[in-house]
Amino acid sequence: MQNLASYGDPGWVDYLIMENTKFDACPECDLLLNQALPEIGEKALCPRCGYLLYRPRKQSIERTFALSVAGLIVIFPANLLPLIGIKLLGNSHDGTLWSGVIGLFNEGMWAVAILVFLSSILFPLTNIILSLLISAHLYFDKPNRYLGSWMRWLQHLDEWAMLEVYTLGIIVACVKLASTADLKLGFGLYAFVTLLLITAMLASSLDPYLFWQRIAYLRRHEA
Amino acid sequence: MTALAQGLIRCHDCGYLSQQARQPRRCPVCGSRLHIRIPNSVQHTTALLLSSYALYIPANIFPIMTVTQLGVTEQHTIMGGIIALIDKDMMPIAILVLVASILVPLLKLLGISLLLLKVRYRWQSNARLWTTMYRIIAFVGRWSMLDIFMISILVAVVDLGGVSQVIAGPASTAFAAVVVLTMFAAKSFDPRLIWDNQE
């Protein structure tokens, strides 16, 4: 990162990383804490505000790697195949994730269309790609100058990928439609539910604390 | 003892502690900009909150979707859609939509307002409870998108020409904006401010 170069002394970065690792600060109340690393299955909470500081995960890097590969495969059928279809008076019609976005766009609701596109298609995809890139680099011990930026993007985009909310939307829409038309569930829906499970497992297997430690470690040993 | 009192800055993104005395502008681990607290947190949150309040009104009075069924056209507001569900005896789903589209946005708006007032007027009260409230607000925000996603699916599926059609209404843009703005408001609020003024 070019900004680090501007500090001049290259040993500076190493020095800082070594120095402050025995302390930690709670992100939600700023309490200064002695660093405690719980065992797998345990968790560390902030004693003052109760924030969940760490919950180490079993085989975090390996599982994140495997799950992001699986997610990348499943995301295509989930996006492209019909989720649900209806039949009414001999007419039938299927809907996919994309056709909802395009439908909203054609009705002039471009802002809503963009929001739906981002939160149900683009951000889930970028999250999976970023998880794959980061975990693959960490798994193979390959340093990369963008690892830190990828991890930051992943953390910021995480809450904007809303597959689970979309699933609830599908359920409500199905209930609304069931009384007036014949519903059929498409293959895309099964792919979508699989994708939902994979992203949920991905979120719980990724241990941000471990990932940052590994990124800092790779960075130190880059040169 | 806070990190601030010890002259340490925690990176927002990777959690690494830097020393204030060295006046670092960027985190040496991840390159993120360092700040002791989120800059102008209260001002940004207030601005986003006021915009959300303003948009909450059109979101509730204009129709969120127009449903055409066998030649009959009906316009639904958010509340109207819930009443229609109750009329069709779909109570659990009606409650779900009521919680996601009416209660959550409203409680979020009020909750963030209270948090801002607490920080502004330094109310001395149980900071742990306030932090819990902040966490709930930050967590539930995204679930309000339920209505928007449901409309998106209905628009995609119910498109049978003149027989049956669903068109999104003007309230959907306003409602989506309320959800996004309150999510940004929760994100720009720094929960450490709750603890900073605590005795």
pLDDT digits (tens, 9 = 90+) for B75-85: 888 888 888 88
**C-alpha to C-alpha distance for B29 and B38, rounded to whole angstroms:** 19
Q: What is the mean pLDDT of residues A12-20?
A: 46
- The Cα of A136 is separated from the nearest Cα of chain B by a number of Å equal to 18
**pTM, 2 dp:** 0.87
> ∠ CA(A177), CA(A94), CA(B91), 5° rounding?
15
**Nearest residue in chain A measured CA to CA from B81:** A176
Q: Is the pLDDT of residue A195 over 90?
A: yes
Is the pLDDT reported for residue B58 higher than 60? yes
What is the number of CB-based contacts under 8 A between chain A and chain B? Answer: 229
Res B162: pLDDT? 66
Residue of B30, B70, B93 to mutate when probing chain A, most A C-beta within 10 A: B30
Residue A223: pLDDT band with limits 50, 70, 90? low
Burial B134-162 (b: 16+ CB within 10 A, else e): bbebbebbbbbbbbbbbbbbbbbbbbbee
* Contact list, A2 vs chain B (CB under 8 Å): none
Question: For residue A30, what are its two tokens?
Answer: 């700023």
Cβ–Cβ gap B28/A159 under 8 Å: no
- Compute the nearest-CA separation of A65 from chain B (Å): 20
Nearest by CB to residue B160, choosing from A27, A91, A169, is: A91
Residues A88-143 pLDDT 10s:
777 777 888 888 899 899 888 899 999 999 999 999 999 999 999 999 999 998 88
Alpha-carbon gap, residue B94 to B48, rounded angstroms: 29
Q: A168 and A162 in contact (C-beta within 8 Å)?
A: no
CB atoms within 10 A of CB A206: 24
Count other C-beta atoms under 10 Å from residue A106's C-beta: 12
Q: Do B2 and A25 touch (CB under 8 A)?
A: yes
Mean pLDDT score of chain A, rounded to an integer? 84
Residues 6+ apart with CB under 8 A from B106: B56
What residues does A45 pair with on adjacent strands?
A52
Q: pLDDT tens digit string along A151-190? A: 999 999 998 999 999 999 999 888 888 877 788 888 889 9
Architecture of domain B40-196: Up-down Bundle (1.20)
CA distance A69 to chain B (A): 25
Q: How far is B18 from chain A (nearest CA, A)?
A: 7
pLDDT tens digits along A117-131? 999 999 999 999 999
Structure tokens at A80: 């492209």
At A66, list the tokens: 């495997």
A103 and B159 Cβ atoms separated by less than 8 Å = yes
Taking only the tens place, the pLDDT of each residue in B121-169 is 888 888 899 999 999 999 998 899 999 999 999 888 887 766 778 888 8
Nearest CA in chain B to A163: B149
Residue A87's DSSP bridge partners are A92, A182
Contact A152 B96 (CB under 8 A): no
In this predicted structure, the answer to whether residue B18 has a pLDDT above a threshold of 90 is no
Average pLDDT in the A19-32 region? Answer: 78
Domains of chain A, by residue range, sit at: 1-56, 59-220
Report the range of poorest mean pLDDT among A7-11, A25-29, A73-77, A173-177.
Answer: A7-11
Q: Do A162 and B191 touch (CB under 8 A)?
A: no
- Rounded CA gap, A218 and B155, in Å? 48
What pLDDT shows up at residue B199? 63
CB-side neighbour CA atoms (13 Å) of B178: 27
Q: Which residue has the tokens 């039938």?
A: A92
Q: What is the mean pLDDT of residues B19-46?
A: 86
Query: B88–A179: do the CB atoms touch at under 8 Å?
Result: yes
Query: What are the extents of the domains in chain B?
Result: 1-36, 40-196
Q: Report the C-alpha gap between B10 and B19 in whole angstroms.
A: 9
